[in-house]
Amino acid sequence: MGPTPHIAVIGGGSTGAGIARDLAMRGLDVTLVEQGNLTHGTTGRMHGLLHSGGRYAVSDQASATECIEENRVLRDIASHCVEMTGGLFVKRPEDSEEYFQKKLSGCEECGIPAEVVSGEEARAMEPHLAKDIDKAISVPDGAIDPFRLVVANAASAQEHGARIETHSKVTDLLVESGEVVGIEVEHDSGPGKRVHGTEGGTEQIRADYVVNATGAWAGRIGDMAGLDIEVRPSKGVMTIMNIRQVDTVINRCRPKGDADIVVPHETTAILGTTDEEVEDPEDYPEEQWEVDMMIDTLSELIPMLDEARTIRSFWGVRPLYEPPDVGSDDPTDITRDFFLLDHDERDDLPGMTSIVGGKFTTYRMMGEQIADHVCGKFGIDADCRTADEPLPGSEDFSVLRDYMDEFGLRSPIGRRSVERLGSRADEVLKTDGPNPTVCECEGVTRAEIQDAIEGSGSDLNAVRIRTRASMGNCQGGFCSHRMASELHSEYDEPVVREAWDELLQERWKGQRHALWGEQLSQAALNYALHATTQNRDQDPADGDPVDFSAFDSGRGQTGGSVDSADVAADGGTNGY
């Protein structure tokens, strides 16, 4: 055997992280590069549904079958990222009975456990369902935390020797003698963990093979070597409510349509979604009608949504792909399946494969196929172990202990920390000092924040996605400065200030689509806290120098020794 092949994986979404873990576990050298944070792309902007496959049981049975298989695997290997809420496909009186029956038989054909429940039974499970719901089909849908899952995959890859570079953008493919031999990367802040204010730089990373897992961006990477990869990005909106109106995933049982699903996620419920083709995965319109439609249409299933408070809305783009000869007009007709494009076979350019399409739920399976493919190239015969080995955080984690006494945490907070951390709870929460709560909305403690900082450098948005801090009702109004202070034990003040500003701005962005009613009042409160109480909008540390001597220095000082030459006397006006 020759030396261990080195594989460069581009893209830190679920697909790239899954591939990196699989390859690293099979003993290959892996470098994963991501232009933003982990989950910067579509993975950080999706609905969080662990598909049972029920949604595709009529239209796309191949995908449905993959979903239920992977649904079972993820419950096992990623138990700390999954909440098995169960799901319902509910039928309103005006929805087709024929389709209802097709859904039911489709589930059976794909091996998805499905059961019909009456309207009353459905309302007993979910009291806020509309009174006129006829009946429903129950399926094993679940909620899954994409951030936690991707971070756990990256951590596992790292444990197996992989190098993970975030905030590092691939700017070119290195092509020599008609073969891809590596990537050119621009680091935002130097290699390693991100630290604000550290000078970046360009690095050429040579690799024996390159995997392009950039989802909706795959075409851009292709362009770098003159390849044509026709990804058809399609956007969808998701609107986050401030509470969980439902504890079960609620789907509307009809063929296809916008605004037909509600997923309970942690303390919130997320309404979705739409499906509209866009030109550019980074720059597309985010519109008011989309948010209004989520609320108005889903109120037909859950009437209380009409008056409920939303905390923000966000959009994601599906990396849909279809082979050039299909030609669907409507993005909802494009398959949800994934495609492995070997550019040697397809375009006579050896050294790189792209993976496009697919779903979050099937990320591991996608990783397995790519890893098989890559290992095949190098004649490596290594088994895939990702379906059997739990992710860090999900190992031997059977009982949720009550950590209240053990770690001095208030009960609901201790419980939530332990749910998030899974089997890592002991390691993270056992600290010497006191462990106060930093984010009250989501119950995130100092120890978790510190653990996240260790993993992600000075990037508070990365800390946020790892811990959920600042993602609750107040959207960072009360905790942003606390999170910044937690950084200060490790980083200098200017670095902290920059990370803090970046977090504030990011938190503001998504709220734009929720600014009426309670959430507008919350925004007004946050604005007052940050601008009035803290004066962060006019912080002299970021602005022009202030002439302190021109301001009131007090009625007179007692105690201490004062260098009188330095003392400003009331700015010269109206002395006392």
Partner 1 sequence: MSLPTEGQMAIESEVLVIGGGLGGLTSALAAAREGADVRLVSYKQSTLRQASGLVDVLGYTPDGDGPLTDPYEAIPSLPAEHPYRKVGVGTVRDAMALFDDAVPTYEGEHTDTNALLPTHGGSIKPTARYPAGASAGLASDTRDTLLVGIEEMVDFDAPHVAAHLDATGVPFDVRGETIRFPGDLRADAKVTRYAKLLDTNSEVAVRGRMVPAREALAQRVNPLLEDEQRVGFPAILGDDNPGAIRDSLSDHLGVDVFEVPMGPPSLPGLRLEDALFSALDEAGASIETGNPVVDFEGEDRIEKVFIEKNGAKIPNSADQYVLATGGFVGKGVESDREGVYEPVFDCHVPHAADRYDWFDGELFGDHEFARYGVATDDDLRPLDASDDSEFENLRAAGSVLGGYDFAAEKSGSGVSIATGYAAGQRAAQEAR
Ligand X SMILES: Cc1cc2nc3c(=O)[nH]c(=O)nc-3n(C[C@H](O)[C@H](O)[C@H](O)COP(=O)(O)OP(=O)(O)OC[C@H]3O[C@@H](n4cnc5c(N)ncnc54)[C@H](O)[C@@H]3O)c2cc1C
* Part of the chain binding partner 1 (CB under 8 A), chosen from 15-23, 131-139, 240-248, 534-542: 534-542
Return the number of the residue (5 or 36) whose C-beta is nearest ligand X.
36
Contact partner, 546, from partner 1, ligand X, none, Cβ < 5-8 Å per class:
partner 1
Contact partner, 573, from ligand X, partner 1, none, Cβ < 5-8 Å per class:
partner 1
Return the number of the residue (93 or 412) whose C-beta is nearest partner 1.
412
Contact partner, 571, from partner 1, ligand X, none, Cβ < 5-8 Å per class:
partner 1
Tell me: does residue 537 bind partner 1 (CB under 8 A): yes
Residues whose CB is less than 8 angstroms from the CB of residue 318 and which lie 6 or more positions away in sequence, other chains included: 42, 216, 233, 234, 235, 236, 275, 331
Return the number of the residue (329 or 547) whose C-beta is nearest partner 1.
547
Contact partner, 124, from partner 1, ligand X, none, Cβ < 5-8 Å per class:
none
Contact partner, 318, from partner 1, ligand X, none, Cβ < 5-8 Å per class:
ligand X
Tell me: does residue 171 bind partner 1 (CB under 8 A): no
Contact partner, 47, from partner 1, ligand X, none, Cβ < 5-8 Å per class:
ligand X
Contact partner, 289, from partner 1, ligand X, none, Cβ < 5-8 Å per class:
none
Cβ pair 31, 8 in contact under 8 A = yes
Tell me: does residue 399 bind partner 1 (CB under 8 A): no
Tell me: does residue 252 bind partner 1 (CB under 8 A): no
Distance CA 464, CA 3 (A): 39
Helix 460-467 vs helix 146-159: angle between axes, to the nearest 10 degrees? 110
Closest CA to 95 of 123, 56, 134: 134
Return the number of the residue (119 or 331) whose C-beta is nearest ligand X.
331
Distance CA 308, CA 516 (A): 11
Going along 242-357, which residue ranges are E strands?
249-252, 261-265, 268-272, 276-277, 310-321, 338-342, 352-357
Contact partner, 34, from ligand X, partner 1, none, Cβ < 5-8 Å per class:
ligand X
Tell me: does residue 535 bind partner 1 (CB under 8 A): yes
Pairing of strands 249-252, 87-91: parallel
Return the number of the residue (167 or 482) whose C-beta is nearest partner 1.
482
Contact partner, 488, from ligand X, partner 1, none, Cβ < 5-8 Å per class:
partner 1
Contact partner, 51, from partner 1, ligand X, none, Cβ < 5-8 Å per class:
ligand X
- In eight-state DSSP terms, residue 331 is G
Tell me: does residue 338 bind partner 1 (CB under 8 A): no
Residue ranges binding ligand X (CB under 6 A) = 10-16, 33-36, 40-43, 46-49, 51, 169-170, 213-217, 236, 238, 273, 316-319, 358-361, 525, 528-529, 532-533
Tell me: does residue 405 bind partner 1 (CB under 8 A): no
Beta bridge partners of 260: none
Residue type at position 192:
G
Question: Scanning residues 449 to 508, which ones bind partner 1 (CB under 8 A)?
Answer: 478-479, 481-482, 484-486, 488-489, 492-494, 496-497, 504-505, 508
Return the number of the residue (423 or 445) whose C-beta is nearest partner 1.
445
Minimum CB distance to ligand X, residue 162 (Å): 15
| Residue given tokens 């495609």 in the structure block | 339
Minimum CB distance to partner 1, residue 549 (Å): 6
Tell me: does residue 289 bind partner 1 (CB under 8 A): no
Contact partner, 177, from partner 1, ligand X, none, Cβ < 5-8 Å per class:
none
Contact partner, 505, from partner 1, ligand X, none, Cβ < 5-8 Å per class:
partner 1
Closest CA to 137 of 119, 155, 160: 119
Number of residues that bind partner 1 (CB under 8 A): 83
Minimum CB distance to partner 1, residue 537 (Å): 4
Distance CA 72, CA 157 (A): 22
DSSP string, 30-95: EEEE-SSSTTTTGGGGS--EE--SGGGTTT-HHHHHHHHHHHHHHHHHTGGGEE---EEEEE-TTS
Residues whose CB is less than 8 angstroms from the CB of residue 121 and which lie 6 or more positions away in sequence, other chains included: 136
Return the number of the residue (201 or 289) whose C-beta is nearest partner 1.
289
What is the torsion angle, in degrees rounded to the nearest 10, for the CA atoms of residue 393, residue 395, residue 399 and residue 403?
A: -40
| Residue given tokens 């009625």 in the structure block | 555
Cβ pair 103, 58 in contact under 8 A = yes
Tell me: does residue 137 bind partner 1 (CB under 8 A): no
Cβ pair 144, 360 in contact under 8 A = yes
Contact partner, 33, from ligand X, partner 1, none, Cβ < 5-8 Å per class:
ligand X
* Part of the chain binding partner 1 (CB under 8 A), chosen from 71-79, 158-166, 268-276, 403-411: 403-411
Tell me: does residue 430 bind partner 1 (CB under 8 A): no
Member of 118, 124, 127, 527 binding partner 1 (CB under 8 A): 527
Tell me: does residue 431 bind partner 1 (CB under 8 A): no
Distance CA 19, CA 384 (A): 11
Tokens of 470: 């600042």
Tell me: does residue 411 bind partner 1 (CB under 8 A): no
Return the number of the residue (385 or 488) whose C-beta is nearest partner 1.
488
CA 576 to each of CA 406, 552, 569, 572: distance values in angstroms, whole numbers, following the listed order: 57, 11, 10, 10
Distance CA 91, CA 157 (A): 43
SS3 category, 308: coil
CA 481 to each of CA 485, 495, 498: distance values in angstroms, whole numbers, following the listed order: 6, 13, 12
Peptide bond into 273 cis (omega under 30): yes
Member of 131, 279, 324, 561 binding partner 1 (CB under 8 A): 561
Return the number of the residue (76 or 406) whose C-beta is nearest ligand X.
76
Tell me: does residue 574 bind partner 1 (CB under 8 A): yes
